Amino acid sequence: MLPEVGSLAERGHTPRVTVVIPALNEERNLIEVLPRIPSTVHEVILVDGESTDGTIEAACAILPSIRIVRQIGRGKGGALRAGFEAATGDIIVMLDADGSTGPGELPAFVGALLAGADFVKGSRFLQGGGTADMTWHRKAGNGFFVRLVRLLFGGRYSDLCYGYNAFWVDVLPFLSLDGDGFEIETMMNVRALKVGLRIAEVPSYEYRRGHGVGHLRAFPDGLRVLRTIFAEFGRPMPLRVSQQERQGGAPWTGVAFTIGEGDDPTADGPLALIPIERETSAIPIEAAQLMSSQGAYPRLGDDLAD
């Protein structure tokens, strides 16, 4: 019997958000990243890949409530899977420790999930997105992979090799993740398509790494991504979301936001309803700007029907 991917109503109106951060020798970057995570999240999990600097000590000093998970597997994929397994929230948001993914964009990802998406991925190539950390050959390779995935699996992805994703925790059994390296991001995106999840893209800006040298190796990791795409093309998925499981789901029409003040998500304010593009499942730039701005919070439980 298939595990059920719940509707918005079934998932509840007050979801707990878990932020998962894989880290390896990121002490200096975490000093800048952790204070920017919204205080309204349920938990922050740092998966440490045997750091030799003060990564763990710095994280605990900055955010005493942070949960430290020791990585068992290899690479970024192993770290993320360990974090997912340890998560106790209803929603998981992936965040990089090097500062390349902005914590201020987190409400945009959560908002798209509350609007009805199962899986939300950031895109540097939607209007409102961008990158300050992508060489021409990485950009060319990513563009090739995007077109290849469209050809083999359908969908309308505008970005592929980017690790800013968010999803309801109940979709993890459908994804059956088993990747170890950076290809885990491609694996997640492709399998979300294959199993029929409701996917939304939101504009996202990729910043330069704050300090140190990144662990991504463009050509070796690019080959791993290519092998992953072709492996997924020949791999049947044991689980798929059926149309019957979609009956009674929440309206897929927009994202409601309360504009509050400061860090108080319960503050009363005007309600904004931003429509989602039905054809592409992309949230327009107005939504991203609104959701990422200071003081913009999802109004949980609002009726999003037309």
Q: Comparing 96 with 72, which gets the higher pLDDT?
A: 96
| CB of 103 closer than 8 Å to CB of 138 | no
Question: Quick one: 205 and 133 in the same domain?
Answer: yes
* Beta partners for residue 199, in sequence order: 119
Query: How far is C-alpha 38 from the geometric centre of its chain's CA atoms?
Result: 15
Domain total of the chain: 2
Evaluate whether residue 87 is within a structural domain: yes
Question: Quick one: 97 and 38 in the same domain?
Answer: yes
Question: Quick one: 228 and 258 in the same domain?
Answer: no
Instruction: Give pLDDT, residue 285.
Output: 44
Query: How far is C-alpha 35 from the geometric centre of its chain's CA atoms?
Result: 19
Task: State the Cα–Cα distance between residues 262 and 301, nearest whole angstrom.
Answer: 21
Per-residue model confidence as pLDDT tens digits over 242-281: 544 544 343 333 333 333 333 333 333 333 334 444 334 4
Number of other residues whose CB lies within 10 A of the CB of residue 46 = 27
Number of other residues whose CB lies within 10 A of the CB of residue 295 = 16
Give the predicted TM-score (pTM) of the model.
0.77
Burial class (CB in 10 A: 0-12, 13-18, 19+), 212: middle
| CB of 99 closer than 8 Å to CB of 209 | yes
Question: Quick one: 214 and 89 in the same domain?
Answer: yes
Burial class (CB in 10 A: 0-12, 13-18, 19+), 137: exposed
Average pLDDT estimate for 281-290: 46
Helix (H, G, I), strand (E, B) or coil at 108: helix
Evaluate whether residue 91 is within a structural domain: yes
Strands (DSSP E) contained in the chain are 17-23, 43-48, 67-70, 91-94, 119-123, 130-131, 165-168, 199-203, 205-206, 254-259, 271-275, 296-298
Average pLDDT estimate for 36-42: 94
Residue 213: CATH number of its domain: 3.90.550.10
Question: Quick one: 19 and 76 in the same domain?
Answer: yes
Number of residues assigned to the chain: 306
Q: What does residue 231 show for φ and ψ, rounded to 5 degrees?
A: -65, -40
Evaluate whether residue 234 is within a structural domain: yes
Task: State the Cα–Cα distance between residues 252 and 180, nearest whole angstrom.
Answer: 34
Question: Quick one: 262 and 200 in the same domain?
Answer: no
| CB of 34 closer than 8 Å to CB of 106 | no
Question: Quick one: 278 and 137 in the same domain?
Answer: no
Show the tokens assigned to 224: 């791993």
Evaluate whether residue 1 is within a structural domain: no
Evaluate whether residue 76 is within a structural domain: yes
Question: Quick one: 173 and 259 in the same domain?
Answer: no
| Residue where a domain stops, chosen among 223, 243, 263 | 243
| CB of 46 closer than 8 Å to CB of 71 | no
Evaluate whether residue 3 is within a structural domain: no
Instruction: Give pLDDT, residue 118.
Output: 96
Structure letter (DSSP) for residue 301? T
Task: State the Cα–Cα distance between residues 205 and 101, nearest whole angstrom.
Answer: 7
Instruction: Print the domain residue range for 149.
Output: 8-243
CA-nearest of 125, 120, 153 to 139 is: 125
Task: State the Cα–Cα distance between residues 230 and 263, nearest whole angstrom.
Answer: 45
Buried b (16+ CB within 10 A) or exposed e, 141-170: bbeebbebbeeebebebbbbbbbbbbbbbb
Question: Quick one: 228 and 271 in the same domain?
Answer: no
Per-residue model confidence as pLDDT tens digits over 110-162: 999 999 999 999 999 999 999 997 788 878 888 899 999 999 999 999 999 89
pLDDT at 54 over 70: yes
Question: Quick one: 268 and 158 in the same domain?
Answer: no
Buried b (16+ CB within 10 A) or exposed e, 191-201: bbbbbbbbbbb
Question: Quick one: 260 and 234 in the same domain?
Answer: no
Evaluate whether residue 2 is within a structural domain: no
Evaluate whether residue 156 is within a structural domain: yes
Question: Quick one: 76 and 20 in the same domain?
Answer: yes
